[in-house]
């Protein structure tokens, strides 16, 4: 039998756990587990975890150095363009860095990008074809 297609946890390596907890908390996202130096958020069927970057690299067994484009983006979808604008503003108010203001995009949606305190990229998007909210 083949394995179930399942993403259980996305772990973001962070340089300052308190700062990252404050950032995601400011969005109104409630920590659902917070001990042994790792914070979990239930983000709709999957867990988002915040864990110190050095410790995460050590767990993997790799050097923690790395820079440039990570090659991974996370998307938070909203049910309308207006909701994207509102959520985008909430991310900025929480301390996110604006990367790309929301615009109409080639595939027919509306989206922008922010970076969290460690540079992890979130796309804030409205998809008129599929509801992923």
The footprint of a copy of itself (CB under 8 A) covers 2-13, 27-30, 33, 36, 41-48, 53, 56-57, 59-78, 86-87, 90, 99-100, 105, 107, 113, 118, 120-121, 123, 125, 130, 132-133
Cα Dmax for the chain: 47
Alpha-carbon gap, residue 119 to 12, rounded angstroms: 10
Q: Which is nearer to a copy of itself, 16 or 90 (CB)?
A: 90
What is the 8-class DSSP label of residue 111?
Answer: E
Neighbours of 16 (CB within 10 A): 14
Distance of alpha carbon 62 from alpha carbon 75, whole angstroms = 26
Pairing of strands 110-115, 121-126: antiparallel
By beta-carbon proximity to a copy of itself, the closer residue of 18 and 54 is 54
At its nearest, how many Å lie between a copy of itself and the CB of residue 21? 14
Nearer to a copy of itself, 9 or 18 (CB): 9
Cα separation, 94 vs 76, in Å, equals: 15
Shortest spacing between CB 41 and a copy of itself, in angstroms: 6
Distance of CA 132 to the CA centre of its chain: 15
Instruction: Identify which of residues 110 and 123 has a Cβ nearer to a copy of itself in the complex.
Output: 123
Q: Cβ of residue 120: shortest distance to a copy of itself, in angstroms?
A: 7
């Amino acid at each position: 039998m083949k394995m179930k297609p399942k993403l259980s946890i996305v772990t973001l390596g962070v340089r300052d756990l308190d700062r990252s907890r404050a950032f995601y908390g400011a969005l109104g996202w409630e920590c659902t587990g917070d001990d042994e130096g790792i914070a979990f958020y239930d983000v709709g069927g999957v867990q988002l975890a915040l864990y110190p970057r050095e410790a995460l690299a050590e767990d993997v067994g790799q050097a923690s150095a790395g820079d440039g484009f990570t090659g991974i983006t996370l998307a938070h979808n909203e049910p309308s363009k207006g909701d994207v604008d509102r959520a985008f503003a909430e991310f900025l108010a929480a301390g996110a860095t604006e990367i790309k203001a929301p615009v109409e995009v080639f595939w027919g949606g509306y989206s922008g990008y922010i970076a969290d305190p460690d540079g992890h990229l979130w796309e804030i998007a409205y998809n008129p074809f599929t509801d992923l909210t």
